[in-house]
Amino acid sequence: MKKLIVAESAGFCFGVRRSVDMAMKLLDEHGACASLGELIHNEDVVNALKAKGMRVVNTPEEVTAGERVLVRAHGAAPEIYEALEQAGAEIHDATCPKVRAIHKIVARAKEEGRFTIVIGMRAHPEVNAICGWCGEHEVFENAEELEKWLKTKPDPWEKPITVVVQTTQTHSNFTECCLFIKKRCTNAKISDTICLATSTRQEEAARIASECDAMVVIGGKHSANSVHLAQICSEHCLNVQFIERTEELDTDRLEAADTVGLTAGASTPAWIIKEVRNKMSDEIKNEQSTVEKEMSFDEMLEETLKTIYNGDKVTGLVVAITGTEISVDLGTKYSGFIPTSEFTDDGIKVEDAVKVGDTIEAVVVRVNDVEGTAMLSKKRLDAAKMWTDIEDAVESGAVLEGVVTEENKGGVVVNVKGVRVFVPASQTDLPRDAELSQLLKKTVRLKITEVNKARKRVVGSIRRVAQAERRERIENIWNEIEVGKKYHGVVKSLTSYGAFVDIGGIDGMVHVSELSWGRIHQPSEVVSVGDEIDV
């Protein structure tokens, strides 16, 4: 094997990270807790959590009064929550925000008297939980099942339809089902509730598999998203291994492959991915992989479950762009997003400013532990960096560039990469009685004259730069000017004896006798102030 391609999206999604992190906190703080069903579809993680004091219960009846119970990322039906409360449990809800959004959609459909179609794996705990929030509903795993069901229903569309899909389904299956529904029903409300992380993972797996001679997919055999990953890879590559742990890897099947791809499901911890990668390095001598030292379970979890706080500087990968926000994979339990408005100043299109796959730096503005999201700002980070440049510019006299954004009392405000710089009217380089509004939305060059970071006050001068540039132009003209040289200039003023023309910082006088071949009495007969002429 000459090359190994490891999917950037492989491993824990933010929903899984969040649930495991909540479990670890409960265990660290109280030494014991219970999980309603196996926390995630990974036996190694579940066993490690059991060893730390977490027990798995399958029904609320198994819970003891006062016991701390974690509802896993798949969520639970309303009656389960009620039963847990009746049992006296202390409920800690780790339902994935993406799953909770589906619960809200189907609950609203129930209130409106709509029939709900759920597309997903019938026996999957996420689907079971969704059904608990539905009114009248049916679950279909594919379009074929949907078609068979319709044949048994003489008038299946007598009620309006709401359609949702399991977060870990493939887009191809969802699309096929939706096309069938649209042909038969004109009033269906269809919600694409496939998780963005799932879509990104599947698209990346398909792309890598099409480029590789062999693929290795790591994940639980009863993990929906892992099973779908293996199916997608098999559609693009003939040599695919679907394994749960390192010892299942058959390196003999990789020997003839020049390029091998590696991806993993959302419940696969980072250390298992590393173990598989390292085994491939040992066995096949892949130069791009290095064997890493063994870590304890706590160390591996600490590496996987990165926590972020307001004000943190973070780096992430742009995974999706919508009309309102840019989604950023931070490699943590949180899903990051930046409002598109931060990239669309002055009419700039967001697609021209940032693209899917770009690496982006930002600062954390607000962390939402309940939703598992983090609002980010690139502008604030750029502004923080710019403060340093602005402070340095006072000492160095450096010229900065910005856009005039508003007319203020006594001057204008210039935006210099997110920092507001006030320019007094006397420093705008406009005549005393000129309208300051003519500078709005114009790009200007200025020098910083005063900085007070504590008060967030910055004062600048456009005039200093303009004066310096004029002096430089004048000096250049005097150094180069000579009789017979041609210039393009602007008429600045008229007198009875001629016209004064600005040729780039210097006013030259054109005598009335040199303005026309014919006889004229006044320069205004030939030129006007503001005319551009060659002299």
Let me know: does 334 contact 372? Beta carbons within 8 Å.
yes
Residue 251 in contact with residue 221, Cβ under 8 Å?
A: no
- Please report the DSSP string for 102-155 in residue order: HHHHHHHHHHTT-EEEEES-TT-HHHHHHHHH-SSEEEESSHHHHHHHHHT-SS
Domain boundaries of the chain, sorted by first residue? 14-97, 98-190, 313-376, 397-467, 485-534
The CATH number, out of the four listed (3.30.70.580, 3.40.50.11440, 3.40.50.10540, 3.40.50.11270), of the domain defined by the range 14-97: 3.40.50.11270
The one-letter amino acid at 188: A
Between CA 401 and CA 386 the distance in angstroms is 12
State the angle between helix axes of 43-51 and 14-30 in degrees (0 to 180), rounded to the nearest 10: 10
Fold of the domain built from segment(s) 485-534: OB fold (Dihydrolipoamide Acetyltransferase, E2P) (2.40.50)
What tokens appear for 286 in the block? Answer: 């892949």
Q: Pull the structure tokens for residue 454.
A: 């504590």
Domain 313-376: CATH superfamily, name plus number = Nucleic acid-binding proteins (2.40.50.140)
What is the Cα–Cα distance from 515 to 528, expressed in whole angstroms? 12
Name the CATH code of domain 98-190 (choices 3.40.1010.20, 2.40.37.10, 3.40.718.10, 3.40.50.300). 3.40.1010.20
CATH code for the part of the protein at 397-467: 2.40.50.140
Instruction: Quote the CA–CA distance of 291 and 339 in Å, as a whole number.
Output: 40
Of 382, 341, 342, 344, the residue nearest 361 (C-alpha):
382
Q: Contact at 8 Å (CB) between 197 and 229?
A: no
- Would you say the CATH fold of 485-534 matches that of 98-190? no
What value, to the nearest 5°, has the Cα angle with vertex 318 and ends 315 and 322?
Answer: 135
Distance CA 239, CA 248 (A): 15
Tokens standing for 91? 């409920």
Rounded to 10 deg, the angle between the 171-184 and 143-151 helix axes is 30
Per-position pLDDT tens, the chain of length 535 = 678 888 887 878 777 888 888 898 899 889 899 999 999 888 888 888 999 999 999 999 999 999 999 999 999 999 999 999 999 999 999 998 889 989 999 999 999 999 999 999 999 999 999 999 999 999 999 999 988 888 887 666 678 899 999 998 988 899 999 988 888 777 789 998 988 778 888 999 999 999 999 999 999 888 888 999 999 999 999 999 999 989 999 988 988 888 999 999 988 888 888 889 888 876 555 444 333 444 455 555 555 556 778 888 888 888 777 778 888 888 766 778 898 888 776 567 777 788 877 888 999 998 887 666 889 998 888 877 778 788 888 888 889 999 999 998 889 999 887 788 999 999 998 988 888 999 998 999 999 999 887 787 899 999 999 988 888 888 888 888 889 999 999 999 999 999 999 988 788 999 999 999 988 889 999 999 999 999 9
Nearest C-alpha neighbor of 87 from the set 67, 65, 68:
65
Active site residue 126: yes
In the three-class reduction of DSSP (H, G, I as helix; E, B as strand; rest coil), residue 399 is classed as strand
Q: 499-502: which pairs have CB atoms within 8 A and are 24 or more residues apart?
A: 499/523, 499/527, 501/533, 501/535
Q: Per the structure block, which two tokens stand in for 413? A: 């405000």
At 109 the pLDDT is: 94
Task: Note whether 377 and 340 are within 8 A (CB).
Answer: no
Question: In whole angstroms, what is the distance from residue 37 CA to residue 32 CA?
Answer: 15
Q: Where are the beta strands (DSSP E) in 265-378?
A: 313-321, 325-329, 335-339, 359-368, 373-377
Which tokens is 347 given?
A: 């009419």
CA R_g for the chain: 34
Binning the chain into helix, strand and coil, the percentages to the nearest 5 are 40, 25, 35
Residues 6+ apart with CB under 8 A from 24: 49, 52, 301, 305
Residue with token string 């899984």: 16
Comparing CA positions, the residue from 72, 27, 93, 75 lying closest to residue 54 is 27
- Cα–Cα nearest to 164, from 218, 126, 204, 205: 126
């009875």: which residue's tokens?
A: 496
First-to-last C-alpha distance (Å) of the chain: 73
| CA 195 centroid distance within chain | 14
pLDDT at 501: 95
d(CA 333, CA 335): 7
Among 38, 126, 204, 325, which one carries the catalytic annotation?
A: 126
What element of type H or E holds 495? strand 488-495
3-class state of residue 190 by DSSP: strand
DSSP strand pairing (3-6 vs 259-264): parallel
- What's at 437, amino acid-wise? S
